[in-house]
Amino acid sequence: MMPSLNEYLMVSGLLFAIGFAGVLMRRNIIIIFMCLEMMLSAANLSLVAFWRFGSGNGMPAEGYEAQVLVFFVIAVAAAEVAVGLAIIVALFRARCTVHVDDLNSMKG
């Protein structure tokens, strides 16, 4: 009994929902950032699942565009993490907090 496409999509949706819940509930900016990464990875999982079932009958699609897209998403996410964490460090130096409720004015 092999898993079906719907099961992969549901797992991916659940991971996305957990990440989304983290973004909404947590107030620590680093945790929020980690949850954003989780949401990106959930999107990657559904992309790869659609690729793997792309030809119907549980066979993968002919082309490799989906995996190339996932590769680019991961690379861009890595660049995004580097810039985001640098911004968090700069913010912490200016305000001495990582709690988003304390960051309520734009002019530092």
Partner 1 sequence: MSALFYIFSAVMLVFGVLVVVNRNPVSSALSLVVSFLGLAALFITLNAYFIGVIQILVYTGAVMVLFLFIIMLLDIKTEQRRELNYVALGGGVVVILALVSQLAILLAGFVPGKQKLSVLPDDAAVHQDVKRVGEAVFTDFNFHLQLLGILLLIATIGVVVLSRRQGRADESGE
* Segment 13 to 32, residues that bind partner 1, using CB under 8 A: 13-22, 24-28, 30-31
Q: Does 81 bind partner 1 (CB under 8 A)?
A: yes
Count the Cβ atoms, other than its own, within 10 Å of residue 29.
Answer: 19
Return d(Cα 98, Cα 24) in angstroms, integer.
15
Using the rule CB under 8 A, is 103 a contact of partner 1? Answer: no
Using CB under 8 A, which of 11, 43, 106, 107 touches partner 1? 11
The least CB distance from residue 107 to partner 1, in Å, is 15
Site map for partner 1, 29-68, x if CB under 8 A? -xx-xxx-xx--x--xx--xx-xxx--xxxxx--xxx-xx
> In Å, how far from its chain's centre is CA 102?
25
Q: How far is the CB of 18 from partner 1 (least distance, A)?
A: 4
| Shortest spacing between CB 104 and partner 1, in angstroms | 14
CB 62 within 8 A of CB 55: yes
Residues 28, 34, 38, 44: is their CA dihedral positive or negative? positive
DSSP 14-28: HHHHHHHHHHHH--B
Q: Which of 4, 43, 103, 105 binds partner 1 (CB under 8 A)?
A: 4
